[in-house]
Structure 1
Amino acid sequence: MLSELLGGAPVRAALVIHDPPAGTGSSPGPERDRVRFQFNPDRVQVGKQARWDRSRAPSSGEAARAQFVGAQPRTMTLEVFLDATGSRQSVQDRVEKLLDCCAPTARSTAAKPASAPWVRLEWGHARTTGFLALVTQVDAVYTRFGLDGTPLRAVCTVSLEEVGGSVPRQNPTSGADGPVDTHLVVAGDSLAGLAWHAYGDPARWREIARANDVDDPARVPAGTVLVLPVLQERATEGGAG
């Protein structure tokens, strides 16, 4: 009854696990698995740090003016509650899925460079937590066991770090390498709309389509993760025209 009053059942969160990109690509590989949450997290901690240099302190003893060095990748920590009740997968199998995210995949190890899976927290329309990341640490605490010692319940603390850091959207034509950001497609999204929000120019939807190998911009299904690339300067384009 309460869920009906609030507009329906809650959207369940999941940790989506992707193959890493081939070589040095910036787009994730296909989805290989996902860990569905039986209960949504009560708290998700997201952080980001900037590096500042104050080493050039004046001899007068006054504090040196801080000089920006660079931005650190976003980090996220969340708890995943796992229980054997009502699930086809054992608690141990799901914990192993999380632990495996800390090691390179067999395919990437053979092809070089070795890379662990890329993951993404999928939770409805949440965007600040939906970035592509690497799993840096998993701590599993088993809290209930069967008579034969089989773990029946666990609480896993999962730490994530953004794959490539974030590049400020305010300078989309800086010519830097790597993705500006990633975007989880939801119903009603369009490439032109994403280009407008990311670059201030809806005509640049073609760059988004090219970066994600999208053949038909009208058919990008909800749930797709799009890379929003850094765009090169258009000075040469303007001169050619």
Structure 2
Amino acid sequence: MAFEFPGGAPVRAALVIYDPPTGTGSTPGPERDRVRLQFNPDRIQVGKQARWDRSRSPSNGEAARAQFVGAQPRTMTLEVFLDAHGTSEGVQERVEKLLGCCAPTARSTTSKPASAPWVRLEWGHARTTAFLALVTQVDASYTRFGHDGTPLRAVCSVSLEEAGGSVPRQNPTSGGDGPVDTHLVVAGDSLAGVAWQTYGDPGRWREIARANGIDDPARVPPGSVLVLPVIQERLAGGAG
């Protein structure tokens, strides 16, 4: 199944591979490679879980009230179909790129802790699946071979886990601490558009700019990771 713009050609998906952040940073390094998918996925599974604690049960036998502990990282699983038809090579090189995402980069081994590359599924205007992630598992099944044993076709199941997530950060309107989310900037994004999607109010772009130290809202390059702060009025049901 191909994602299509009205009246346009299908947009091909790609798994973009980035250098990991330096130190304890949360922004990936430059793009180091990408695996362009010959065939777009026909199914992608995305999940997210929340942790709740019910250990403090009352003595009267009633069910304990759930206490929110925290949100687990988003996960995603997709199948990548690779075929050497029309190319002069097999599919091993692309499979090796995927397998390599499970190991620390050579450059990061000189620092502590060492880190594997970060990745992102890039597919047109898709947002739910366009989060920065770590590859947790790759299972490759070779289904066709050349006369010399060279693999010519493969199906790879790739499991991803969100690299970022909610972290404590100062609330710009209340001055208190609160959880935040993040947003990966893609081509065509604007701070006003992100604010409308997040808060339902495009005028909130100023809070996003302030939380990220952005002086020029027109210059937010694709690939940037924006912190989306909690706004006190929003939590209070719009009171203020």
TM-score under structure 1 length normalisation: 0.81
Q: Partners in 2 of 1:118 and 1:7 — Cα distance?
A: 34
Q: Partners in 2 of 1:21 and 1:79 — Cα distance?
A: 27
User: Given that residues 180 and 227 in structure 1 are in contact (C-alpha distance below 8 angstroms), is that contact kept between their aligned partners in structure 2?
Assistant: no
Q: Partners in 1 of 2:164 and 2:6 — Cα distance?
A: 37
**1:44-85 CA deviation, whole Å, 9 max, x = no partner?**
000000111111222332221111111100000000000011
User: Where does 1:132-171 land on structure 2 (aligned, <5 Å)?
Assistant: 132-166=132-166
* Alignment-mate amino acid for residue 147 of structure 2: L
Further displaced range: 51-60 or 19-28: 51-60
Q: Partners in 2 of 1:232 and 1:47 — Cα distance?
A: 23
Equivalent in the alignment of 1:115: 115
User: Given that residues 209 and 215 in structure 1 are in contact (C-alpha distance below 8 angstroms), is that contact kept between their aligned partners in structure 2?
Assistant: no
- 3-state SS of 1:225 partner: coil
TM-superposed deviation, 1:193 = 3.6
2:177 aligned residue (158, 175, 178): 175
Distance 1:165 1:216, change over 3 A: closer
Q: Partners in 1 of 2:16 and 2:144 — Cα distance?
A: 26
2:205 aligned residue (202, 225, 228): 202
TM-superposed deviation, 1:229 = 1.6
Q: Partners in 2 of 1:172 and 1:22 — Cα distance?
A: 27
Equivalent in the alignment of 2:186: 185
Equivalent in the alignment of 2:238: none
Q: Partners in 1 of 2:4 and 2:127 — Cα distance?
A: 25
TM-score under structure 2 length normalisation: 0.81
How many residues matched?
223
Distance 1:35 1:47, change over 3 A: same
- 3-state SS of 1:106 partner: coil
Q: Partners in 1 of 2:119 and 2:4 — Cα distance?
A: 32
TM-superposed deviation, 1:15 = 0.4
- Structure 1: 5+ residue stretches without partners: 235-241
Identical aligned residues as a percent: 73
TM-superposed deviation, 1:9 = 1.8
Q: Partners in 2 of 1:184 and 1:17 — Cα distance?
A: 16
Q: Partners in 2 of 1:87 and 1:61 — Cα distance?
A: 67
Q: Partners in 2 of 1:66 and 1:48 — Cα distance?
A: 18
Further displaced range: 80-89 or 122-131: 80-89
Q: Partners in 2 of 1:123 and 1:215 — Cα distance?
A: 29
TM-superposed deviation, 1:6 = 5.5
Q: Which contiguous aligned blocks of 4+ residues in structure 1 show a shift greater than 6 angstroms?
A: none
* Alignment-mate amino acid for residue 153 of structure 1: R
Equivalent in the alignment of 2:225: 227
**1:61-115 CA deviation, whole Å, 9 max, x = no partner?**
2221111111100000000000011346531000000000001111111122211
User: Where does 1:19-34 land on structure 2 (aligned, <5 Å)?
Assistant: 19-34=19-34
TM-superposed deviation, 1:191 = 3.0
TM-superposed deviation, 1:181 = 1.4
**1:137-194 CA deviation, whole Å, 9 max, x = no partner?**
00000000011111000000000000022469xx7766358x721223233x323443
Q: Is 1:60 equivalent to 2:60 in the alignment?
A: yes
User: Given that residues 207 and 229 in structure 2 are in contact (C-alpha distance below 8 angstroms), is that contact kept between their aligned partners in structure 1?
Assistant: no
